[in-house]
Structure 1
Amino acid sequence: MRIDDVIYFFNDFRPYYYRVLAVIGVLSNVVAIVTLSRGRCGLSECVTWYLEAMAVADLLVVVFQVILIRIYLIYYTPECNIIHTMGYVSVACSVWLTVAFTLDRTVAICFQKLKTRYCTEKGAATVIAVVSVLSVLTNIPWYFTYKIHICWASIEFVYSPVWAAFDWGHRILTPVVPFVLILLLNAITVRHILMAGVVRRKLRGQRNGEGKDDPEMKNRRRSIILLFAISASFILLWMTRVVILAIEQITVQYFLMTASKLVGDYLGEMLQLFSSCTNMFIYAVTQRKFREEVINTVKYPFTAILKSSAESWKI
């Protein structure tokens, strides 16, 4: 298959892909927000805060990056600068909240003394607020990079060394640095788990594969499955985007558009945006109580309608 045929395929496929992604993204994140807000999922308040914040950020990514920018194509409108800026803000917030959640779970698992001070509801709320504010502040300059009413990068942005430095810093800050941090934090967590598991089996005198019924190990295993699933999803779906950005930085080909680079950009963009729709399904697969609450949340409107109809018939 020629590269031109691949490009034509992506050009035909992407509009349908983004429409399906918008439906899945909005529904999944809204269900996750509603389910988590009920507080019946068996998760700690700290974890619930992070997961809710991540769901809200992912929902904003779907709204701004998918629906407004890629489906409705909000060009030649006075609001296009604001929408593009909010698109960058939502992505930064989603990415760095994933880092914050990973750090919180690493502290909870590996640093017991720091856990009592950091892994709290107040601590989670503070971190979420800081990440949100910094995401807004660091992306405000994007508002000034587009020509008003056109939403194309201005000549000053393309050729100015100041804007080039800002663009370079943005690419490093999101997502290269978070990508590396998540890998590092998970490596620390895995190393601690392996060492702690060996020590615990020795203390209990359970060697050679024994001790599978250790309740402490079971609780710890359940608590880290969610962390690793979210981290793995982020790494896999962002990997293409990170590799392409790295190649652009090394070869200094920010605006040179070749056929192969165009295909890579399409694929990386599609996978990156898909990452904003996966967390709810990860929660459902890895957390039994969350799965049960999702079913109750989805059933609630129908049961309420049936109950209301039954009462009206009695009247």
Structure 2
Amino acid sequence: MNFYYLAIAIIFGIFGNILSFAVFTRTHLKIRSSSYYLAALSLVDTGFLSALFVSWLVQVDIHILSSHNFVCQLFVYISSCCSWLSVWLTVAFTFERLVAVQYPLRRPAMCTVRRAKVVITILVLIALPWHAYSFILSGVDDLDGKR
């Protein structure tokens, strides 16, 4: 039963994240800095759900990672980066909301779209090299002659 729930959660999650990204970037909400954090969060969560989908495929006996070492390493790298970014984008968004509530008069100067873009870019630039260890520590192991 859990097997089916996971597939349904992944499908609805990816659909919901794509819809959220479209709403935050293509409507009047794009003028708000918090929309940029939420749009970025929907992207990285979609990346993580996509990686989770690949893991789910293994349960269905579809092994797309077992034939190529680099594909396996890339899978681990992407899922690690997306997981880390999801947490830190939530922290950045929460901090911005704290500033908006605690210091409402400073919000227009501190919570800008430009600042949100800079914070998101910095987080991505930290995440990419931070998780490069995935290429060294992960790979395909040959167990009992099977990959």
Q: TM-score, normalised by structure 1?
A: 0.40
Pick from 69, 78, 84: which aligns with 2:76?
A: 84
Aligned length in residues: 137
Greater helix percent: which structure?
1
Residue correspondence of structure 1 range 1-315 to structure 2 within 5 A: 13-41=1-29, 44-64=31-51, 66-72=52-58, 73-78=63-68, 79-112=71-104, 114-147=106-139, 149-150=140-141
Cα distance in 1 for residues equivalent to 2:35 and 2:136: 36
Cα distance in 2 for residues equivalent to 1:141 and 1:49: 28
Q: What code does the residue aligned with 2:116 have?
A: A
Task: Give structure 1 regions of 4+ aligned residues with deviation exceeding 2 angstroms.
Answer: 69-75, 111-118, 149-152
Output one character per residue of 1:208-260: Cα deviation in whole Å (capped at 9) or x when no partner.
Answer: xxxxxxxxxxxxxxxxxxxxxxxxxxxxxxxxxxxxxxxxxxxxxxxxxxxxx
What value does the CA root-mean-square deviation take over the aligned residues?
Answer: 2.2
Q: In structure 2, do the counterparts of structure 1 residues 142 and 151 end up closer, same or farther at CA, with 3 Å as the change threshold?
A: farther
How far residue 76 of structure 1 moved from its aligned partner, in angstroms, is 1.6
Q: TM-score, normalised by structure 2?
A: 0.82
Output one character per residue of 1:59-85: Cα deviation in whole Å (capped at 9) or x when no partner.
Answer: 111111x11123245442321111111
Cα distance in 2 for residues equivalent to 1:71 and 1:40: 38
SS of alignment partner, residue 140 of structure 1 = coil
Asked if the contact 1:81–1:151 (Cα under 8 Å) also holds between the matched residues in 2, the reply is no
Asked if the contact 1:54–1:94 (Cα under 8 Å) also holds between the matched residues in 2, the reply is yes
Q: Could you list the runs of 5+ residues in structure 1 that have no partner in the other structure?
A: 1-12, 153-315
* Greater relative contact order (Cα < 8 A, sep 6+): 2
Q: Could you list the runs of 5+ residues in structure 2 that have no partner in the other structure?
A: none
Output one character per residue of 1:258-299: Cα deviation in whole Å (capped at 9) or x when no partner.
Answer: xxxxxxxxxxxxxxxxxxxxxxxxxxxxxxxxxxxxxxxxxx
Cα distance in 1 for residues equivalent to 2:122 and 2:9: 29
Query: Could you tell me which residue of structure 2 aligns to residue 280 of structure 1?
Result: none
Identity %: 20
